[in-house]
Structure 1
C-alpha cells in the first residue's frame, strides 16, 4: 500500500508526463493488430496517451473490419461512411483541432498518415507549440509532411523502434552549461530551423539545442549568473529576448539580424 507522500509523488510524476493523442488515417496507413499494438507502445513511450482515434470508411471493403480488429486495443474507431473525397481526413482534422482547444489539450499529436492534406494541420499544431510525431508507410508519404514533422518514423520500422525503446540505457551524469553558452546554442538552433524552412516553435528549438550540445538536456541544465536554474524553457527565452538576442512572435522565435551576424 502506498503512503500518502508516495501516492502524491506518483500522481505528480504522472501529471508531468506530456499528453499524447493519436490520430490515425486508416485509409492511408493500414496496420495489423500486432502492428497497432506496437504503435500504442511507441505512443506510451512519448508520454501519457489520452486519446486514440482511428478514422475509416466501413463502406470500403478493405476497411470494414477495422472496428472488430482494433476496438479491443482501446482505439476509438470513428466510421466516416461518406463517398466524398477527403471526408475522413476532414473529420480527423476537425476533431484534432477541437481537442487542441479543449481543457485537456495534448502536448504531442501522433499522426498516422503520409497524406499531404495534413500539412496545414501540422503547421497549426506547431504554431500552438505542439509537437507533431508522424508515422507513414515507405513510399506513401509526402515529402513536405515528412520535413515538417518534429519526429518522423516509417511504420515498417515499428518493431525495431519498440525494441530500441526497451533496451537498457546508460544514464550519464552531465554538467551544467552557463546562460551565455546556452544562448549561443539557442541562436544556432533558430538559424538552423530557419535555413531549413521549418517553424521555429519552442519544441523544435529545444530539440535542436539538445542535438547540438551534449551537456544541454533541458532548461534546468542552464545555470544563470546568480547560480540558479531556469524553471522552464519560456523563462530562458524571455531572458534572451530581454538581452536583445532573439525576437518572439506568436510562440515562434526569430533572430535579430545584428546578433545573427555577430554569432
Structure 2
C-alpha cells in the first residue's frame, strides 16, 4: 500500500493543475520525436494524469502508432471502425467520462484542428475546464482556434519546448516498484470485480492511476533488478486474483 513519502509527493504534485492529453491521430500525424515535444509542452502546463492517442489500425498509415507512441507513455486507443468520425466520437466520450471521474483534469490538451470538437470545447469550458488546442498550420477550424483558452501550432513545438528548459520525456513517467504495483493491481481488480465490471486493461489501468500517483502505465513499473516490464500483461499475471 502507499508509503508515507508517497503521501508527501501527492500533496506536492496536487498543487499543480492536472493535465489530460487527447490526441486525434487521423487529424494530426506526428513522429515519435514530435510526440516527445508534445509531452514536454503538456508537462509545462501542469501534471499529466493521462495521455491518449486515438487511431485506426486498419489504416496503413496508422498501423505503427501503438509501437511508436505506446513506448513513449501514450495510451493508444485503437478504434477500428470504418464509419466517419468513429475515433472522434470515442475521444469525445472518453474525455467527458474522465471529466466526471474521481481524478478530473483541470486542463485538457486536445491535439486536433477538427471542427467536430467545437461542441466538446464548449462543454469543457462550461464545466470550468481549460481547453488547450494544438493543431497543424493549415488544418484547423477557425472556430476551434477562437474558442481555445490556449492555442498552439504543432509546427512550432521545437520553439515552444527545448531541451534546455524542458525536462526529458522520461521524467514524466513516475517510478513504482513491482511489489507496490502488484498491491495496486490486486486492489484495482477487486474493485472492478465488486462493481461487476470486466477486468480489462483499460479499466484496471485507469483504477491503478487513480489510486497511485507514481503509476503512469506499465512502463513506470520496475522489477527488483531495475528492469521494466515490456507489457501490462506481464504485471497483470503476477497480480492475478482467483
Normalising to structure 1: TM-score of the pair?
0.59
State how 1:37-186 maps to structure 2 within 5 Å.
37-163=36-162, 166=165
Contact kept? 1:38, 1:162, Cα under 8 Å = yes
In the alignment, the residues of structure 1 paired with residue 59 and residue 92 of structure 2 have an alpha-carbon distance, to the nearest angstrom, of 21
In the alignment, the residues of structure 2 paired with residue 12 and residue 158 of structure 1 have an alpha-carbon distance, to the nearest angstrom, of 31
CA displacement 1:39-91 (0-9 Å, x = unmatched) = 00111111110000000001111111100111100100000010000000000
CA displacement 1:128-182 (0-9 Å, x = unmatched) = 0000000000000000000000000000000100139818xxxxxxxxxxxxxxx
In the alignment, the residues of structure 2 paired with residue 17 and residue 70 of structure 1 have an alpha-carbon distance, to the nearest angstrom, of 25
Structure 2 vs 1, CA of residues 165 and 109 (structure 1 numbering), >3 Å: closer, same or farther? farther
Contact kept? 1:45, 1:165, Cα under 8 Å = no
In the alignment, the residues of structure 1 paired with residue 10 and residue 144 of structure 2 have an alpha-carbon distance, to the nearest angstrom, of 36
Greater RCO structure (CA 8 Å; 6+ sep): 2
Task: Determine helix, strand or coil for the equivalent of 1:119.
Answer: helix
CA-CA distance at 1:9 after TM superposition: 6.0
Task: Report what 2:239 is aligned to.
Answer: none
CA-CA distance at 1:11 after TM superposition: 3.8
Structure 2 vs 1, CA of residues 102 and 63 (structure 1 numbering), >3 Å: closer, same or farther? same
Q: Aligned residue pairs: how many? A: 164
Q: Which has the larger radius of gyration?
A: 1
CA displacement 1:194-226 (0-9 Å, x = unmatched) = xxxxxxxxxxxxxxxxxxxxxxxxxxxxxxxxx
Contact kept? 1:59, 1:81, Cα under 8 Å = yes
CA-CA distance at 1:7 after TM superposition: 7.8
In the alignment, the residues of structure 2 paired with residue 7 and residue 90 of structure 1 have an alpha-carbon distance, to the nearest angstrom, of 36
CA-CA distance at 1:15 after TM superposition: 1.2
CA-CA distance at 1:100 after TM superposition: 0.3
Task: Report what 2:14 is aligned to.
Answer: 15
In the alignment, the residues of structure 1 paired with residue 145 and residue 79 of structure 2 have an alpha-carbon distance, to the nearest angstrom, of 26
CA displacement 1:4-44 (0-9 Å, x = unmatched) = x9987654221111100000000000000000000001111
- Structure 1: gaps spanning 5 or more residues: 168-263
In the alignment, the residues of structure 1 paired with residue 139 and residue 51 of structure 2 have an alpha-carbon distance, to the nearest angstrom, of 22
Task: Determine helix, strand or coil for the equivalent of 1:81.
Answer: coil
In the alignment, the residues of structure 2 paired with residue 7 and residue 99 of structure 1 have an alpha-carbon distance, to the nearest angstrom, of 23
CA RMSD of aligned residues (A): 2.0
